[in-house]
A and B are shown apart, each in its own frame.
Chain A
Amino acid sequence: MGMAEEIIVEPNFEKICSDILNSDEQIRFSGFVNDKSKLIHSVQKNNLESLLSEHEIGMSIHYTLERWRKAQNFTFRLGKERLTFTEYDNVTLITVPFKGKLLLVSTEPRIAYDSIIEKINSILINWEN
Chain B
Amino acid sequence: MENGTISYTQLLREDLGIFRVTPDEKILDFKAGQFLTLGLPFESKMIHRAYSITSSPENKNFFEFVVRWVRRPLPGRFTSLLFNAKEGDKISWAKPAGNLTINDTLPSGEKDTRRIVCIGGGTGLAPFVSFAQHLHATNDKREIVVLHGASYVDELSYKHLLTDLQNESIDKGKDEWNFKYRAAISRPDEWTNRAWGGYKGRIEHFLRSNDSGKSPLEELVGEKITKDNTMFYVCGWQGTIDGTMDYLKTKNFVTEKNKREDGSFEVKFESYG
Do A76 and B192 have beta carbons less than 8 Å apart?
no
Question: Number of residues in B with C-beta < 8 Å to the partner?
Answer: 12
Do B191 and A37 have beta carbons less than 8 Å apart?
yes
Q: Is the CB of B197 closer than 8 A to any CB of chain A?
A: no
Do B72 and A58 have beta carbons less than 8 Å apart?
no
Please report the C-alpha to C-alpha distance between residue A59 and residue B194 in the assembled complex, in whole angstroms.
10
Q: Is the CB of B187 closer than 8 A to any CB of chain A?
A: yes
Closest chain A CB from B154 CB (angstroms): 12
**Which of B14, B72, B187, B190 sits near A72, CB closer than 8 Å?**
B72
Please report the C-alpha to C-alpha distance between residue A81 and residue B259 in the assembled complex, in whole angstroms.
50
Q: Is the CB of B1 closer than 8 A to any CB of chain A?
A: no
Complex contacts, B72 vs chain A, CB 8 Å: 72-73, 75-76
Do B73 and A59 have beta carbons less than 8 Å apart?
no
Do B73 and A38 have beta carbons less than 8 Å apart?
no
Do B75 and A73 have beta carbons less than 8 Å apart?
yes
Q: Looking across the interface, which residue of chain A has its beta carbon closest to that of B74?
A: A76
With A36-B189, A37-B189, A38-B189 in contact, is A75–B194 under 8 Å at CB? Answer: no
Q: Is the CB of B71 closer than 8 A to any CB of chain A?
A: yes
Total contacts A-B at CB 8 Å? 26
Do A37 and B190 have beta carbons less than 8 Å apart?
yes
Closest chain A CB from B68 CB (angstroms): 13
Do A36 and B191 have beta carbons less than 8 Å apart?
no
Do B187 and A58 have beta carbons less than 8 Å apart?
no
Q: Is the CB of A62 closer than 8 A to any CB of chain B?
A: yes
Do B73 and A75 have beta carbons less than 8 Å apart?
yes
- Provide the A13-31 mask, 1 if CB < 8 A to any CB of B, else 0: 0000000000000000000
Complex contacts, B187 vs chain A, CB 8 Å: 36-37
Please report the C-alpha to C-alpha distance between residue A39 and residue B190 in the assembled complex, in whole angstroms.
11
- Report which residue of A36, A72, A75 has the largest number of chain B beta carbons within 10 angstroms of its beta carbon: A36
Q: Is the CB of A61 closer than 8 A to any CB of chain B?
A: yes
- Provide the A69-103 mask, 1 if CB < 8 A to any CB of B, else 0: 01011011000000000000000000000000000
Do B191 and A58 have beta carbons less than 8 Å apart?
yes
Complex contacts, B74 vs chain A, CB 8 Å: 76
Do A59 and B191 have beta carbons less than 8 Å apart?
yes
- Provide the B67-84 mask, 1 if CB < 8 A to any CB of A, else 0: 000011111000000000
Which A residues, 41 to 62, have Cβ-Cβ distances below 8 Å to chain B? 58-59, 61-62
Closest chain A CB from B264 CB (angstroms): 41
Q: Looking across the interface, which residue of chain B has its beta carbon closest to that of A60?
A: B191
Closest chain A CB from B190 CB (angstroms): 5
Which B residues, 34 to 84, have Cβ-Cβ distances below 8 Å to chain A? 71-75
Please report the C-alpha to C-alpha distance between residue A36 and residue B73 in the assembled complex, in whole angstroms.
19
Do A62 and B190 have beta carbons less than 8 Å apart?
yes
Do A62 and B192 have beta carbons less than 8 Å apart?
yes
Do B71 and A73 have beta carbons less than 8 Å apart?
yes
Complex contacts, A72 vs chain B, CB 8 Å: 72
Q: Looking across the interface, which residue of chain A has its beta carbon closest to that of B191?
A: A62
Please report the C-alpha to C-alpha distance between residue A62 and residue B73 in the assembled complex, in whole angstroms.
22
Q: Looking across the interface, which residue of chain A has its beta carbon closest to that of B151?
A: A36
A-B contact pairs, 24 of them (CB 8 A): A36-B187, A36-B190, A37-B187, A37-B189, A37-B190, A37-B191, A38-B189, A58-B191, A58-B194, A61-B191, A62-B190, A62-B191, A62-B192, A70-B14, A72-B72, A73-B71, A73-B72, A73-B75, A75-B72, A75-B73, A76-B72, A76-B73, A76-B74, A76-B75
Chain B residues within CB distance 8 Å of chain A:
14, 71-75, 187, 189-192, 194
9 nearest A-B residue pairs (beta carbon): A62-B191, A37-B190, A73-B71, A76-B74, A58-B191, A36-B187, A38-B189, A36-B189, A59-B191
